[in-house]
Amino acid sequence: MKITCVIRYEIDPFQRDAFQKYAENWGRIIPRCGGHLVGYFLPYEGTNYVGWGLIAFESLAAYENYKAKLRADPEARENFAMAQSKRFILREERNFVEVVEGTFERGVVTR
């Protein structure tokens, strides 16, 4: 994968379970629509109102194709509607990043 969309969510910390369900739903939807789901992440320790979603693509063109499929997908529309009705996402921002060669998925070196 050449680029990754990093989505930062500010969530209502009292609706963590609703955000978890929202993220779990994407686990089925995103791959079906052409995205490579790296994962969704809930706050664990420290800040209790920031979650993350990472989705990888071969190119920005692949991302645009994915967005079109997402808009047409009934389950995706339902998931967006659920988030809007429950209002657990307070803010969302997206950034696109690329990996620095030689740094991604490096294991622990033992001697």
Q: What string of DSSP letters covers 41-104?
A: E---SS-SSEEEEEEEES-HHHHHHHHHHHHH-HHHHHHHHHHHHHT-EEEEEEEEE-PPTT-T
What's residue 108's pLDDT? 72
d(C-alpha 65, C-alpha 5), whole Å: 14
Tokens of 24: 């779990």
Its CATH architecture, for the domain 3-97, is: 2-Layer Sandwich (3.30)
pLDDT average, residue stretch 62-79: 97
State pLDDT tens for residues 4-48. 999 999 999 999 999 999 999 999 999 999 999 999 999 999 999
What's residue 99's pLDDT? 87
d(C-alpha 88, C-alpha 108), whole Å: 37
pTM score, whole prediction: 0.89
What's residue 106's pLDDT? 78
Q: Where are the domains of the chain?
A: 3-97
